[in-house]
């Protein structure tokens, strides 16, 4: 039976790797998801046949309860709330690893009264640390994204020294835990420090930087699962956790590059802080407004269009009407594309998910590096709810908090239309220079409503 189980785990691991590989391309992404799901199903079955402590009735009851909760929120949660859900998922992944590590520790030391092997006790400590940080850090990220606490960085004097002191205290307590495995006070100290560090690491991070934080916390949840695999001596959990951890770190590095941040800056906390200075807002900007009819006439007269989506599109739920706009343009043989900034929205791939929901082909979604050279030759750029990722201050103003961040070169197009509710600033709190450019026109109002009117005007032409 043991050999059969290990073979099943090996097959599951292979399916996980193949599934992730197939996610690389749009055409094979769904098949990759199915392969990964099949691998997980095989791994669960192989695990169930080994269980002796609890009954299948108890297991089935847990599956039913969990599935019911999952189905409820899958149907209730809107696409605009998906970043918050992803943050919660990361948190519960960390909590699961955290709980398994603690239960295994207390089972071995208080019930079985046995000594724990060095590798296992170190794995327990690592799982408690990463799992605890992931759980509370993800909860803070969720609360920031959901608006329950301020999305601005929350800082106080001596924050970094306090984080360092807590981390050194954790290492000290961890060392004593390895020496004296039966002292419950030590493990409680580890629990408290890990949970507190999760909060202190994420509260200094601003809402605009949440895509990086979410991908990093996703990586943490994978690493915690990997450590739990060593605790349980479960090979497939080690492999799955390693895959999630590694892919999360790679994605975090991509996000950091897109935000012009360093990974060390993220890991040390304080990520996303900016120092305000006098005159930061610069001179007042004079904007030119455009109406719905004029916008429709512009779309009718151009030969190329690039849409730059942002979080405002998600809030307005404008992706479906943008698809209608695309269809009207394509009827006129207008080249129509979408420019996707890596950190647009509130989680990695946020804009891709929303546009895919509107049945917009992935071939139309072009990454920043591939499309930036096309802007100077583009007749019209429509910016829907994006702000900081198109702000020329990132290129031109060394005093700007976002200076050096790679941006979409929307300002270089012949004409730019910005669909926006008001002149409010983006999450970075910086005035957008683009709004005052001579080739920029402001289409004020709810994006869904105004673009719907534009589409209606185009249909009557």
Residue 274 pLDDT greater than 50, yes or no: no
CA of 45: how far to CAs of 18, 42, 51, 450, in Å?
20, 5, 10, 52
Instruction: Check: pTM over 0.95? Answer yes or no.
Output: no
> Of 245 and 54, which is predicted with more confidence?
245
pLDDT tens column, 164-202: 999 999 999 999 999 988 888 999 999 999 999 999 988
Section 310-319 average pLDDT: 88
Q: Given pLDDT bands bounded at 50, 70 and 90, which one contains residue 286? A: confident
pLDDT tens column, 353-401: 888 888 898 889 998 989 999 999 999 999 998 888 899 988 888 887 7
Catalytic: 388? yes
Rounded distance between C-alpha atoms, residue 45 and residue 43, angstroms: 6
- The CATH superfamily label for domain 292-460 reads TPP-binding domain (3.40.50.1220)
Determine which helix (DSSP H) or strand (DSSP E) holds 69, and give its type and residue range. helix 56-76
Rounded distance between C-alpha atoms, residue 241 and residue 95, angstroms: 14
Q: Given pLDDT bands bounded at 50, 70 and 90, which one contains residue 111? A: low
Return the bridge partners of 382, or none.
307, 417
Q: Report whether 375 contacts 440 (CB < 8 A).
A: no
3-state secondary structure of 440: strand
Rounded distance between C-alpha atoms, residue 355 and residue 338, angstroms: 9
Candidates 183, 281, 363, 388; catalytic one: 388
Q: Given pLDDT bands bounded at 50, 70 and 90, which one contains residue 427? A: low
pLDDT averaged over every residue in the chain: 86
pLDDT at 426: 58
Closest residue by Cα to residue 98 from 254, 6, 252, 231: 231
Show me where the domains of the chain are located. Answer: 77-268, 292-460
How are the residues of the chain apportioned to helix, strand and coil, as percentages rounded to the nearest 5?
65, 5, 30
pLDDT tens column, 83-94: 888 889 899 999
pLDDT at 156: 83
Residue 62 pLDDT greater than 80, yes or no: yes
Return the bridge partners of 381, or none.
306, 416
Closest residue by Cα to residue 313 from 422, 209, 419, 206: 419
CA of 417: how far to CAs of 120, 298, 307, in Å?
59, 10, 10
């Amino acid at each position: 039976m043991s050999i059969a189980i290990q073979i099943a785990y090996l097959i599951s691991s292979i399916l996980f790797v193949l599934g992730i590989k197939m996610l690389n391309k749009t055409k094979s992404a769904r098949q990759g998801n199915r392969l990964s799901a099949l691998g997980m199903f095989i791994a669960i079955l192989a695990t169930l046949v080994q269980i002796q402590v609890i009954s299948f009735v108890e297991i089935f009851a847990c599956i039913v309860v969990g599935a019911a909760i999952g189905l409820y929120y899958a149907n209730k949660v809107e696409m605009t709330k998906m970043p918050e859900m992803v943050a919660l998922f990361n948190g519960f992944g960390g909590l699961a690893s955290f709980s398994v590590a603690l239960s295994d520790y207390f089972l071995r030391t208080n019930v079985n009264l046995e000594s724990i092997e060095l590798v296992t006790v170190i794995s327990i400590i690592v799982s408690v640390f990463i799992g605890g940080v992931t759980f509370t850090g993800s909860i803070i990220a969720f609360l920031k994204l959901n608006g329950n606490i301020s999305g601005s960085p929350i800082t106080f004097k001596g924050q970094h020294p306090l984080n360092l002191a807590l981390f050194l205290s954790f290492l000290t307590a961890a060392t004593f835990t390895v020496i004296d495995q039966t002292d419950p006070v030590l493990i409680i100290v580890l629990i408290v420090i890990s949970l507190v560090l999760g909060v202190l690491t994420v509260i200094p991070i601003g809402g605009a930087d949440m895509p990086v934080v979410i991908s990093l916390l996703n990586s943490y949840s994978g690493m915690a699962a990997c450590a739990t695999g060593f605790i349980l001596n479960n090979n497939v959990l080690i492999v799955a956790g390693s895959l999630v951890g590694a892919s999360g770190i790679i994605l975090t590095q991509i996000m950091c590059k897109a935000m012009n941040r360093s990974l060390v800056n993220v890991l040390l906390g304080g990520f996303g802080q900016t120092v305000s200075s006098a005159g930061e807002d610069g001179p007042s900007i004079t904007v030119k407004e455009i109406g719905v009819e004029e916008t429709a006439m512009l779309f009718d007269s151009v030969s190329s269009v690039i849409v730059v989506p942002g979080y405002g599109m998600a809030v307005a739920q404008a992706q479906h009407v943008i698809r209608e706009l695309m269809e009207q343009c394509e009827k006129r043989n207008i080249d129509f594309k979408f420019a996707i900034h890596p950190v647009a929205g509130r989680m990695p791939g946020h804009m891709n998910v929303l546009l895919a929901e509107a049945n917009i082909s992935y071939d139309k979604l072009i990454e920043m590096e591939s499309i930036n050279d096309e802007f100077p030759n583009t007749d019209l750029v429509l910016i829907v709810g994006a702000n900081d990722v198109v702000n020329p201050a990132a290129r031109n103003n060394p005093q700007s908090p976002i200076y050096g961040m790679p941006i979409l070169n929307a300002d270089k197009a012949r004409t730019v239309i910005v669909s926006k509710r008001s002149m409010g600033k983006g999450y970075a709190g910086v005035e957008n220079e683009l709004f005052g450019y001579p080739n920029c026109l402001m289409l004020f109002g709810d994006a869904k409503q105004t673009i719907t009117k534009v589409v209606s005007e185009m249909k009557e032409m």
